[in-house]
Structure 1
């Protein structure tokens, strides 16, 4: 259990997108990829209130456009269908036609409104969607042998090495509210989302406007605070579905337990974000950068992003080299109002800089700390009350190998 205000979050062991009432999910292999599962779906028993955030990349893929347009009609989604292996991005009119067909065929198969189907794709850019494989997957969506949240979590992966999923419960209005999620992402991950898909489900009753505000606020503190390599993709989205199958009073900002719901929701988003960062291509370590004492939220966030995005910091962590100069350098080029004479830095509990000046520390102790699987870099700007946290991973030889041969 995790304390949240006067409530507690219960973490569900092996929790997933089907942990909330009224959701099912599945996946199978259609031949888009050589051997791995490559087609998956989430389905709600009833149309769910939906909220979404999307990549800021100018080149937005066809499925993302189709999904955005559908959601804008009545803010409801009942089925999400996803393929991996091919992104259906930079595919022109044919790409839009294929995404629309994928949506329509899914709606017919699942007996739902076409506008209540969200489509998503991830994989190679500039390759037409293999529609025969997509049709095979859609035709199998009602076959119960393919129904499994584990199948779905696997089917959406590309270069990921592990599935990413979790779920929690919290009591609201005497009802047990469940929030579950699944995500994919391993490379091309940078703040403001990249090659990242995340799907979150809840059985809470919540209005669209409040859900959208909650997602936007939470994304800025979680999914937009992770990085692997600084690249941003064309297909990223986070979708949240709330099917209202519990009997709580409608959640919004005036609800007395709104903050309880927000913190449970953020717990799931942060958990998925950290799983993505930890599974960066070739990664061996999760890096957490905590910035405190900032003069504004923007300064705290931008400094944290600068440090977590630094290739020199990431390679130093990989080599377990306590080279704090790289951290200071990243803080300095963050383009934020930082007073160099106030900045302090520590590697976990090991102080290495105080008020802008180096501190004598045991290099071997520093090296041993950086050999941990989770490394925390703490930066205190000593200039205000604001703070932020960003997550990323080390940069390794394997990252180069994976991306040098991505298409071969």
Structure 2
């Protein structure tokens, strides 16, 4: 699909009805897209149209309505395949989200292939969803969990990573983009190194797929997971990409419903890929909405989205960095990172900062961001997080900065 010849931010913002809302009497400034992205009207309309005009179960009916629903559902799978450049449509599995996708890999692949003495390599950047499943797998199998260190800028220490890769490494599980520091990891290079020692690479793409062009063949990732709601689709739908040869050798995680081929009294056989992994009635509307979101993103162009976000991120980092007493965690330049920016302001608790910003209609996230090991690594318990997307503007950054200065004056200067 060709991208728009001229990208208009104003035109884009008009596509999101929620941006017309007011919060505490102030125009909404939504800066929490890393948690969940807002939905364009085309996605909302597509989901509503399905429920109004094609609502039926998929795969199971020969009647017209069921066939129409099946075509939409499987059409969304084809859209995902094109979006991430998977080699085959059967390599795309629908899940509830990134968390479930990674758990599927940990359960279905990990328990079959790991044993005592094997190693799983992760990093301090990981979201809990790409850490706890591997902790549990290590406990169940006797494997060892090893952590890649970070450099002073909060990026992966690639020297340490190469040093820790060895023939005992069976799984390398890393985020493509950190949900705390916004750093973009060099997955293609890491995958090359990991494959040299025979390791399988699992990539948490939750923060990458909405913001960057993703080519799973170029990355050579063995598994790649992401969530629909973070790239403007509905909640409750996600994707697990897996190389066909790997998916064919691992067992289903759930049983029953559409994944069944034949059932006898004492045994059953299962459908081929991808349906053998999709037990029960799937999230049909979610998949259709995800397909609509992908169509919307591709109409703009992922390269264009990444370029606009990089420009806005550089602007935000410069403006935020100029506030006295504000500490940014992670790289402070706009290179090789996305628009996820975390910081603390003076000695003000992050929750107080977020609450005060909310009074101005500015919605940010405060807390540990499901990354407690990283918080401890950084020497903090919580941070404020601003996360940008294509509907954000420089004017919104200016309002954020002005509000932060006022908050600092109220909490610090007026009480010292």
Same fold (TM over 0.5): no
Relative to the length of structure 1, the TM-score reads 0.25
Which structure has the higher relative contact order (CA within 8 Å, separation 6+)? 2
Relative to the length of structure 2, the TM-score reads 0.25
